């Protein structure tokens, strides 16, 4: 472990902050839409409440748009094709490369799980990566399982909204999405479209959700699951 690996990445902090702001703005917007002033207030109070909510909606939409623009500008040119865990570890900026990859993988996985409004924090992914590297070498058998446990315990996926449309319970979504991304990082790769690969990993994770949830933090069981399916995505 080198000192560089532990160095704080300011860009990640800025992007996580902006994403959190965008997430909060979206939450506020969703809640204001769900709140129907006409149902709970008589006129003229309901009219005033509607007017106030429209202003809140306008402000949150603007915050959401502007933060998306800033994140997009910061990220411009930093996204290459997703790489395997073996390749990421050899990267000169392994920690940042890892967290960028995990972020993009989680976003796709969460979208497939119908939970795209969840918050994903790169800083948490970096902490999980460093914690795993502190415990073991990447070539050790249970590295993938330990990485999964750390990603979950650092809460890389947060604030999953309860919804009728999610494919699993909000409580289980982080474990399913993180399992999908770790599987994606270690699975056999060829020329297949990367989007198709993470989608297949998400489907497998969803199909294995009972086993994943029951496994909890049991790295031996998790390692068996990763080993069983890494060549079958």
Which residue ranges make up the site for other proteins (CB under 8 A)?
167, 188, 190, 192, 196-197, 199-200, 203-204, 206-208, 228, 231-233
Q: Say how far apart CA 68 and CA 85 lie, in whole Å.
A: 28
Residue 8 Cβ, how far from other proteins at the closest point, in Å? 38
Q: Which is nearer to other proteins, 119 or 183 (CB)?
A: 183
Residue 117 Cβ, how far from other proteins at the closest point, in Å? 21
Residue 229 Cβ, how far from other proteins at the closest point, in Å? 8
Tokens of 155: 């809460």
Cα 51 to chain centroid, rounded: 35
Residue 90 Cβ, how far from other proteins at the closest point, in Å? 26
Residue 193 Cβ, how far from other proteins at the closest point, in Å? 9
Q: Which is nearer to other proteins, 17 or 195 (CB)?
A: 195
Output b/e per residue, 116-135; b: 16+ Cβ within 10 A. ebbbbbbbbbbbbbbbbbee
Tokens of 212: 């994943």
- 81 in Cβ contact with 195 (< 8 Å): no
Q: Say how far apart CA 148 and CA 182 lie, in whole Å.
A: 7
Tokens of 158: 């947060």
- Residues belonging to the chain: 233
């Amino acid at each position: 472990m080198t000192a560089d690996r532990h160095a704080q990445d300011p860009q990640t902090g800025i992007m996580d902050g902006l994403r959190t702001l965008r997430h909060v703005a979206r939450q506020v917007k969703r809640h204001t839409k769900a709140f129907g002033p006409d149902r709970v207030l008589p006129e003229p109070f309901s009219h005033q409440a509607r007017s106030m909510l429209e202003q809140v909606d306008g402000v949150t939409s603007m915050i959401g748009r502007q933060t998306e623009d800033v994140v997009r500008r910061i990220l411009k040119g930093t996204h290459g094709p997703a790489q395997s865990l073996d390749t990421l570890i050899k990267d000169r900026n392994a920690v940042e490369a890892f967290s960028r990859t995990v972020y993009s993988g989680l976003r796709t996985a969460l979208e497939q799980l119908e939970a795209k409004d969840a918050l994903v924090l790169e800083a948490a992914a970096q902490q999980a990566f460093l914690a795993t590297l502190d415990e073991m070498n990447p070539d050790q058998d249970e590295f993938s399982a330990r990485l999964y446990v750390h990603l979950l315990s650092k809460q890389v996926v947060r604030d999953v909204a309860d919804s009728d449309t999610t494919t699993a319970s909000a409580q289980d979504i982080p474990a399913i999405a993180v399992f999908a991304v770790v599987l994606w990082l270690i699975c056999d790769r060829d020329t297949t479209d990367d989007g198709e690969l993470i989608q297949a990993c998400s489907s497998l994770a969803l199909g294995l959700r009972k086993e994943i949830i029951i496994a909890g933090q049991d790295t031996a069981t998790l390692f068996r699951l990763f080993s069983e399916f890494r060549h079958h995505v």
